[in-house]
Structure 1
Amino acid sequence: WWRGRGVLTGAVRSALAPTGRMALTNYILQSAVSICIFYGMWGDRFASLSLAALMLYSVAFFVLQMIFSAVWLRIFTQGPLEWLWRWQMKRKRPRLLR
């Protein structure tokens, strides 16, 4: 299905591709924000939310990350943490702006 040439397959693939290209940045961002919301600065809210509310939060946050990733990659070549990672691995600063 993923390699198909249908309209729906292409739309899903193009919507998810930027998020995948910024996987490290999105993972760290989601972890940091969720820790702050559920266990940190804004109180212990994890135990007070229903499963439906947690699912809604997860889907909403992922959609925001998809939008953020698409906008970011229109301006830059890769995510900020991916850029730092490549800089450290290659010992040469890669180009960030398109």
Structure 2
Amino acid sequence: MVTKTDGSDLSDQVKAIQAELASLTDTIRKFGSEQASAGADALHNAAGRASETFRASADEARRRGQRVAEDIEGQITGNPVPAVLIAAGIGLFIGALIGRR
């Protein structure tokens, strides 16, 4: 059986296809935008975690440095004569190394 299609039927089909393509394009655009947003959020979160880790490490290093400085200060205060002699010996050694050049 052969059916005859007129121009209006074909025109309606073309319009329907165009509408579907427009809808598909919009869906793809939204999906791409969501993926980009998710990627940006993940990057932001990773940067935040790295910043927190770095800050915690810097604080720990500062605390350790303060403890070492306090320990050294305690040793110097408790034994001033040996501390001065050791410092003088280190100074003479460094002076000898620099003087050879």
- Structure-1-length-normalised TM-score: 0.30
Higher relative contact order (CA 8 A, sep 6+): 1
